Structure 1
Amino acid sequence: MTPRSIPESFDLTGRRALVTGATQGLGTDVVRTLAAAGCDLVLSARTHEALQALAAAVRGDHGVRVEVVAADLSDAADTESLASRALAAFDGLDVLVNNAGVSFPQRVVDVDAGTWDRTLAVNLRAPALLGSRVGRAMAAAGRGSIVNVSSVAGSLALAEHFAYSSSKAALVMATKVLALELGPSGVRANSVSPTVVMTEMGQRVWGEQAKAAPMLVRIPLGRFAQPGDVSGAVLFLASDASAMVNGVDLTVDGGFSAA
């Protein structure tokens, strides 16, 4: 039997990844995790200056190649352009992490067409288009991994998140179709569904003990997710450690959805 090195299965040296929503919260942690695994990166977000600052830091800390493409994912043309430019940056991509997302909390009776359309555009249409365009190139190359960041709110209803929960539920199914159609060409597609993640935004929303307590009591592990909990799951799905994992929604919620 051939000896197996466990760390090598997570090694992404020489791989190329596009990460959307790269400059905030979870996205930045995903970027740093993939870079630490040796992955070259194309970073995307709306603000060019923030992207450049992050790229410089990641290059300095990890010595990987990093390019940036600013894009507004609520715009279909911008999303199509991002796919083309990201594929051209390093002559192809091995990993796509659709992390960018928006949420505009509203009660069902207050939902307006503008916020609904923007939420679905960023949270569903953009990863669908990127999955299609990047997935096509991956299929031609015979390998690749697509990781879509969904949410537990896509499987368990969350008040005041009508559009958000709808978009994340649809993203999980879109992931399964990507897995079904691209799998025969060697391309895997999976999603990650966290509960509350204690990014800066998570701290602002859930940092108060009075608000957090009722939610925490429903999580068997007794805590919210840290960014590294989710980026570790993304690394697993991006790497050869998950070579036979395809079409799965990996829940990262401390057991919240098991109750």
Structure 2
Amino acid sequence: MYLPTFTLEGRTALVTGAGRGIGRAIAIGLAEAGCNVALVSRTQADLEETADIIRQNTKAQAYVIPADITDRKQIEGAFEQLITETGRLDLLVNNAGMNIRTPALEVTDDQWETIVQTNLKSAFIASQTAGRYMKEHGGGKIINISSVGGHTALRTGVVYGSTKAALIQMTKVLALEWGKYGILVNAIGPWYFRTPLTEKILSDEQYMQDILDRTPLKRIGDLKEVVGPVVFLASDAANYMTGQTLLVDGGMSIYGF
């Protein structure tokens, strides 16, 4: 029998930024695949909405854990709460991220610190915390949500692009260090998907046309199209993959901009 299983039955994941957008979609998709999911972000109301969707449409458990993902103590506390309640941690999805679109000559120190803290440092702290547990319990998987902007220069801002490129490199280094512990670390690099974070900019007709012109498939992504690759990487089907970044971008990155 050569077809590996894609089910996540009986496993437990922690997803950051799970209150809306791509993070919400990923959390729901994991639950649909049978995974129990801890939902982490600052805003409890958003997390409760995600949890309600999971509880109404799947048999999976949803754990609402409000936390500031830039605060080490709160991140560590979120993992402690999950492990205390469930006794296990199989998967971490570092999805939380943000951007402040600013020309490079106008970037302030505060903007730099805010974006780096949210997009990069929080992912490392969460990975480090998960890694310590996984090392002692036979391994696990970490999936970082980077961006095609970490692979190709985009008009998303120098700080955002730098953090997403660093996240791809962090994925490789952690995969190299932790493979011997059975910890697999991979990343996803999305292009444009319609989320609360992108809704405003995608309403600009000229900007949208520029996106479509740069995308061979001539459309933006549907959220389920980023969920599928995450479930794949989380499943046994990807058990011989580590240190990789899957670019989910409608072919955008094959151009040489």
Into which bin does the TM-score normalised by the smaller protein fall? over 0.9
- The counterpart of 2:223, out of the listed 204, 227, 245, is 227
Deviation at 1:23, TM superposition (A): 1.0
Deviation at 1:4, TM superposition (A): 4.5
1:89 aligns with 2:85: yes
Q: CA RMSD in A?
A: 1.5
Corresponding residue for residue 133 of structure 1: 129
Corresponding residue for residue 70 of structure 1: 66
The residue correspondences of 1:1-259 to structure 2 (distance < 5 A) are 3-5=1-3, 9-159=5-155, 161-259=157-255
**Contact map agreement 1:99 1:149 (CA 8 A) in 2:** yes
Q: Would you identify which runs of 4 or more consecutive aligned residues in structure 1 move more than 6 Å?
A: none
1:35 partner amino acid: A
Which SS does the other structure have where 1:226 is aligned? Answer: coil
Distance 1:160 1:245, change over 3 A: closer
Deviation at 1:155, TM superposition (A): 1.7
Comparing 25-34 with 50-59, greater Cα deviation is found at: 50-59
**TM-score normalised to structure 1 length:** 0.93
Size of the aligned set, in residue pairs, is: 255
| Residue segments in structure 1 that go unaligned for 5+ positions in a row | none
**Contact map agreement 1:95 1:145 (CA 8 A) in 2:** yes
Mapped to 2, the partners of 1:108 and 1:176 lie a distance apart of 27
Deviation at 1:160, TM superposition (A): 5.0
Percent identical residues: 36
Which SS does the other structure have where 1:68 is aligned? Answer: strand
Mapped to 1, the partners of 2:103 and 2:79 lie a distance apart of 34
Deviation at 1:114, TM superposition (A): 1.1
Which SS does the other structure have where 1:193 is aligned? Answer: strand
1:86 partner amino acid: L
Mapped to 2, the partners of 1:217 and 1:84 lie a distance apart of 46
Deviation at 1:66, TM superposition (A): 1.4
